[in-house]
Amino acid sequence: MMAAATMAFVASCTEGGEESGKASLTAEPSALSFEATGAAAQTVKVTATGGVEWEYEVPQIVKEWLTVSRDGDVLTASVTDNLKGEQRNAIVTLRATNNGDIKERTISVSQEANPNPVEFSISVEPAYMSFVGTEAPAQDVTVKVTGGMTWEATTDVDWITITPAEGKFGVSVTDNPDGKQREGTITVTPSDPEVDPATVRVVQAGKKEFKLSSEEKIVFPYNATGVPSVQIDIVATNVAWEAKIVNVEGNGVDWVGLGISTAYVNIIPVTNTGAESRTAWLVITTDWDECPEVRIEIEQGGAPDHVSTFVEGKEFSTGDFSVVEAETTPWQIGDIGEDPWDPENEYMKLVAQQNNVDLSFKNETFAYDMNERGEAGDGFMVKMILVTPRIEWNKENYFEIADDQPYEIREYIPQPFDDKGNNTLQDKFTIDIGKDMKNIYNKYPGAYVIEYENKVMVNKAPLVDGTLTVTHNDGNNYTFVLDATDDLGNVFKIDWTGDIKWTLNGQMEE
């Protein structure tokens, strides 16, 4: 048994012949040189020992002039004529496929420059073409070639049509169905593959479109409070436009504001206190000849004689109201110049310089009532919103109503502040007048005197003129003196002194 095993081992050591030798990979010759034209093919003998298997690689970039083929352990290289005045060079790489220890081998290939190079060239004029979006006229491209080459023009998009002609070709485009610009390329390929193609870049503008969501006449009630603004959506594709509101003479009006965005306009009326209706026009102009101007009529009805249902005025003293509540949202530290306000936003800088203080005179029977969509009780309630200077939040939770000057009851007429539709703010030390409200969620906006019987409103009076004098005595103790009239001329007065109750909105910083 021992003798048989020894014989098998010896046989395995001697079988295989050359493959059992040292692994190697060589090429002879390792460099090939070709003449510029008429060069014959050349061969390279590749020797692989020790069972090495191998492959070769020719760079894609040189395959247009260098061809390499394999027959067993022989590589055959051939080249096309070099018509250019520069030498051509390439590297063919040999690598073992089954032995990572064998280093790659290279065969360098060079071809002489042509001593009398042929001049081949191709150019186009223009190399850039621009077309309008619709009904674009055709344009021509001139093709210049040297070296007697022919050429073919093709495009990579289906909306370009090419019409060949002698020394040129025509280019036409279909209408662009989209509002966005589109681009395509025309490639002019010469018959000689040694010459690079020429290209023409084609750009077509998007189609133009301009339409409004509505062009119908706009009618507002006399009382704009609680009435939503009218928004007209605008689709403007590759069309510039401007909007304004004018009267019949073409001059601006102050009773209807206009908010402008890139995609819509908002028509914002104010209350008509006059008995006569009034008319204006929204005028939208464009830079497109097919739609130079749109005019939409705006009409607002005249006001009724009055809103107040009181037959006479009333004077209130300290004993008539057991509760006076002041509600506001103090400004947080860092509201200006830091989030949430953009320090470059001028409108927000203005907003942050003042506060609205809701001031309510009432008694303890008043509480929120779903039917009234607000507070209701038994007796009288006088409510108003004071526009005060900025009120800062403080850790002591102590706040004051500014008493620098009397608060004037007057109408606030918002005007557009900027191109984003922001409105200018009501002046400080003012109180917005009471208005007839159609919106059930705010029945008594502005300054109002309201009389209730068992939570049911029996009389109301919008205050439209007058002043409120505020005197800060000490701590939360104040004196309020109101002298105002409603829209019937009834006089309502308050002379009240006592401690007010602050209601603060918003989460305060610690």
Q: What is the pLDDT of residue 11?
A: 30
**What is the tally of structural domains in the chain?**
4
Task: Output the CA–CA distances (angstroms, integers) from residue 510 to 60, 226, 353, 355, 399, in the order listed.
Answer: 70, 37, 22, 21, 16
Q: What pLDDT shows up at residue 229?
A: 86
**341 token code pair:** 């306000």
The DSSP bridge partners found for residue 242 are 285
What is the rounded CA–CA span in Å between residue 497 and residue 318?
6
Same domain for 199 and 229? no
Q: Are 88 and 82 in contact (CB under 8 A)?
A: yes
pLDDT in tens, 118-161: 788 999 999 999 999 988 999 999 999 987 789 999 999 999 99
- Does residue 5 lie within any of the structural domains? no
* Of 212-226, 228-242, 472-486, the least confident: 212-226
pLDDT at 297: 96
- Of 201, 203, 198, 202, the C-alpha closest to 124 is 198
Is 1 within a domain? no
Question: 435 Cβ partners below 8 Å, 6+ apart?
Answer: 223, 225, 226, 271, 307, 445, 446, 462
Asked if 363 and 318 sit in the same domain, the reply is: yes
How far does Cα 201 stand from its chain's mean position? 29
Q: How far apart are CA 110 and CA 82, in angstroms?
A: 11
CA angle at residue 67 from 63 to 68, to 5 degrees?
Answer: 120
Q: Answer with the one of 160, 189, 204 that is the final residue of a domain.
A: 204
Q: What is the DSSP string of 386-399?
A: EEEE--B--TT---
Task: Determine the Cα–Cα distance for residues 145 and 189; give it in Å rounded to an integer.
Answer: 11
Q: Torsion angle, CA of 79/84/85/90, rounded to 10 degrees?
A: -40
Q: Which of 69, 87, 111 is the last residue of a domain?
A: 111
CA distance 508 to 392: 11
SS (H, E, C) 238-283: CCCEEEEEECCCCCECCCEEEEECCCEEEEEECCCCCCCCEEEEEE
Please tell me the predicted confidence (pLDDT) of residue 117. 86
Mean pLDDT along residues 378-389 = 96
Q: Do 458 and 373 share a structural domain?
A: yes
Q: Is the peptide bond before 304 cis (omega within 30 degrees of 0)?
A: no
The answer as to whether 307 is a domain residue is: no
Among 17-26, 45-54, 270-279, 397-406, the minimum mean pLDDT is found in 17-26
Interval 64-113: pLDDT, tens:
899 999 999 999 999 998 878 889 999 999 999 999 999 999 999 999 99
Is the model's pLDDT at 446 over the cut of 70? yes
Between 440 and 487, the higher pLDDT residue: 487
At 300 the pLDDT is 93
Domain identity same for 321 and 462: yes
Tell how far CA 320 is from the center of its chain.
Answer: 56
Of 290 and 29, the structure prediction assigns the larger pLDDT to 29
pLDDT(509) > 60 = no
Residues 488, 347 share a domain: yes
Residue 6 belongs to some domain of the structure: no
Mean pLDDT of 214-237: 86
Q: In the predicted model, what is the mean pLDDT of residues 110-117? A: 92
Stronger pLDDT, 506 or 313, i.e. the higher one: 313
Lowest mean per-residue pLDDT among 169-173, 247-251, 405-409, 417-421: 417-421
Q: Could you report the per-residue pLDDT of 296-334, keeping only the tens digit for each?
A: 999 999 877 788 989 899 999 999 999 999 999 998 765
* Beta pairing partners, 267: 230, 258
Claim to verify: residue 191 and residue 96 sit in the same structural domain: no
Give the E-state strand segments of 321-447 in sequence order. Answer: 323-328, 354-362, 367-369, 374-376, 379-389, 407-410, 430-432
pLDDT at 497: 97
Q: H or E stretch including 347?
A: helix 346-351
Considering the domain architecture, whether residues 196 and 228 belong to the same structural domain is answered as no
For position 8, what pLDDT does the model report? 30
Q: How far is the C-alpha of 201 from the C-alpha of 119, rounded, in Å?
A: 26
The Cα–Cα gap between 163 and 170 comes to: 5
Neighbours of 350 (CB within 10 A): 13
With a CB cutoff of 8 Å and minimum separation 6, the contacts of 382 are 316, 321, 360, 361, 362, 448, 449, 450, 482, 492, 494
The CATH number linked to 71 is 2.60.40.10
Average pLDDT value for residue range 439-444: 75
Across all residues in the chain, what is the average pLDDT? 88
Among 176, 204, 232, the domain-final residue is 204
Asked if residue 13 has pLDDT above 80, the reply is no
Q: Do 469 and 371 share a structural domain?
A: yes
Give the residue among 480, 453, 450, 449 at the shortest CA–CA distance from 467.
480
Check whether residue 380 and residue 472 sit in a common domain.
yes
Query: Which residue range forms the structural domain that includes residue 327?
Result: 314-504
Question: Same domain for 131 and 165?
Answer: yes
**Within a domain: 245:** yes
Please tell me whether residues 451 and 367 are part of one structural domain.
yes
pLDDT at 188: 97
Please list, in sequence order, all residues whose beta carbon lies within 8 angstroms of the beta carbon of residue 309, skipping any fewer than 6 positions away.
Answer: 459, 460, 461
223 assigned to some structural domain: yes
- My answer on whether 188 and 221 are in the same domain is no
Write out the H or E segment, with its range, that includes residue 11.
Answer: helix 2-14
What pLDDT score does 6 carry?
Answer: 31
